[in-house]
Chains A and B, each alone.
Chain A
């Protein structure tokens, strides 16, 4: 076989694998969106692909079992989680990136181990703690829980962004007249802005899609989308129509943010700070 033929074969194999992966990932989503437009009579399994589309399911989640409260709650919780994760995570990351102290790398790794352990390990103790404090079914409980869950990756990612800022740029500002806090706020933070946006959006998305903590720590007072969607799974069966409509709605914001994220992952701001980079 010639080299060219080989190359064509390999690249078509690669495309085939990518196509299969995409189908595997996209098929459920397509199915959900399509099902959300089906009338009640055909919105069931096995699926039919020929039907007259209707907005009944969306009318259902707009008025009969309104999705507005869960949508607003999830927005409030996910936004708060994004802000708090950055507010706690960035200074911690700065300390881990910039200050020398005994056991620094061990501490960083220890933080990472939380990200490696299954969330279900933490859900019972958190439930008991919040119960004692009378915080069950409050914004505070779920926001704190999600923030805690996010902190390991926020700290690790922000640490990398901070390390990308040349130390000398901060030192120059120290000598030029800034205090340590001013250097952090006015030199480092502006330079890691792309990182803050990217990591903030990731934190938002993780909170948006989280189910386990939401299920255990919230009920009616605070109602998150993932829990709301699961409530269509009733003792009488799964109410597929409204459920898929709710999922479709809940996918939209996360998708928008994912697109923004793509743009911001490009780093470019520190370019030109230091010769040789």
Chain B
């Protein structure tokens, strides 16, 4: 077991259309035994980061440590990591038994030890009955388990997982999510897990590193990312439905945010902070779950508007308002009856509102 440390790691790809910086000065420390998720949209550099840790790509600059050892120039086989690929990458010409035993055979473990470990792993993953089959005779979920088996059989220092659940159907994905998390906790192996699915990240991770355009834009626990997003990118990426983002400008005299069709009265502290930082153009963010709506008039309402669309979800209902060009979503309990066209008052509770600098996207207050 080991920690993983990336120091100013950068990766530039040379393509026919010029240089592309896939990973840009990434600093990251993954603690021993931690489940860290690299989360971001496709092309954000998360997979390249993972592949550099695995040794499948060479960093253009920077240092990668596994434990205390600098591994930049180490061949993948000497790094003592195991990887689970998105498409599983099972050896098509081997039987499941041999695929799982493969990393041990190469390392010349004694035969009994190999057999014992393969049995153990197969039991743990409930694939004992599949040991004599070939990959093409397995379902997606079974292939996934075999790929996991090959990774854990060696008890490596680090697990690297590249979207391992994304090829499974939705139902199986939820099951495997829980199993994978439990497995990781039981084995206690440092795990770096790449995904673009924020639900996967939130449910499985000890900490999440959100990446965008080759950089880590925020690193924190799922709760931190949800309650205190550092910028509009993280705010918009985490949470479902996504956070409402409304462009506003500061009306300094009145301590008021003018957001087109709606007006939001700042609390004095927030106003002060904005002024002290010289921010006049603001993006106001509020999660749909925190937007309150009321039939009756309220003095603190930011706007009064007709309902545009109602989306019943079963346990809750998503209500959409259209205010000029901006859409505002509110999530309300399913037992409240609402209908499109009805006029409601919209309230933004002050302690739930995030204010971002429009220019930099950073959280201000």
Given A174-B76, A178-B77, also A269-B55 (CB < 8 A): no
Chain A residues whose CB sits within 8 angstroms of the CB of B19 once the complex forms: none
| Cross-chain contact of B106 among A177, A190, A271 (Cβ < 8 A) | A177
Stretch among B22-30, B136-144, B202-210, B213-221 lining the A interface: B136-144
Q: Is the CB of B76 within 8 A of A175?
A: yes
Q: Is the CB of A177 within 8 A of B103?
A: yes
Stretch among B78-86, B263-271, B347-355 lining the A interface: B78-86
Q: Is the CB of B135 within 8 A of A172?
A: no
Given A169-B90, A273-B135, A276-B167, also A176-B85 (CB < 8 A): no
Q: Is the CB of A269 within 8 A of B77?
A: no
A187 within 8 A of B: yes
Q: Is the CB of B87 within 8 A of A276?
A: yes
Q: Is the CB of A176 within 8 A of B102?
A: yes
Q: Is the CB of A175 within 8 A of B83?
A: yes
Q: Is the CB of A179 within 8 A of B77?
A: yes
In the complex, per-residue mask of A157-197: 1 if CB is within 8 Å of any chain B CB, else 0: 00000000010110111111111000000010011000000
Q: Is the CB of B75 within 8 A of A168?
A: no
Chain B residues whose CB sits within 8 angstroms of the CB of A171 once the complex forms: 54, 56, 76, 83, 85, 89
Q: Is the CB of B88 within 8 A of A175?
A: no
| Cross-chain contact of B89 among A166, A190, A271, A276 (Cβ < 8 A) | A166
B171 within 8 A of A: no
Cβ of A74 to closest chain B Cβ, rounded Å? 35
Q: Which residue of A lies closest to B162 (CB)?
A: A168
Given A179-B75, A275-B143, A275-B167, also A270-B82 (CB < 8 A): no
Chain B residues whose CB sits within 8 angstroms of the CB of A236 once the complex forms: none
Q: Is the CB of A272 within 8 A of B85?
A: no
Count contacts between A and B, CB distance < 8 Å: 86
Chain B residues whose CB sits within 8 angstroms of the CB of A166 once the complex forms: 87, 89
B91 within 8 A of A: yes
| Cross-chain contact of B81 among A175, A271, A273 (Cβ < 8 A) | A175
B254 within 8 A of A: no
Cβ of A15 to closest chain B Cβ, rounded Å? 37
Chain A residues touching B, range = 20 to 34
| Cross-chain contact of B91 among A187, A275, A276 (Cβ < 8 A) | A187
Cβ of A111 to closest chain B Cβ, rounded Å? 19
Cβ of A97 to closest chain B Cβ, rounded Å? 16
Cβ of B144 to closest chain A Cβ, rounded Å? 9
Chain A residues whose CB sits within 8 angstroms of the CB of B93 once the complex forms: 190-191, 269
B297 within 8 A of A: no
B359 within 8 A of A: no
Q: Is the CB of A269 within 8 A of B88?
A: no
Cβ of B264 to closest chain A Cβ, rounded Å? 48
Chain B residues whose CB sits within 8 angstroms of the CB of A176 once the complex forms: 77, 82, 102-103, 106, 150, 154
Chain B, 297-344, CB within 8 A of any chain A CB: none
Q: Is the CB of B88 within 8 A of A275?
A: yes
- Beyond A169-B90, A171-B85, A175-B83, 17 additional contacts (C-beta under 8 Å) are A166-B87, A168-B85, A168-B86, A169-B89, A171-B83, A173-B91, A175-B82, A176-B103, A177-B77, A187-B91, A190-B93, A191-B92, A272-B134, A273-B89, A274-B87, A274-B89, A276-B87
8 chain-A/chain-B pairs, Cβ below 8 angstroms: A169-B92, A171-B76, A174-B77, A175-B54, A175-B81, A179-B77, A274-B88, A275-B167
Which positions in A face B, CB cutoff 8 Å? 166, 168-169, 171-179, 187, 190-191, 269-276
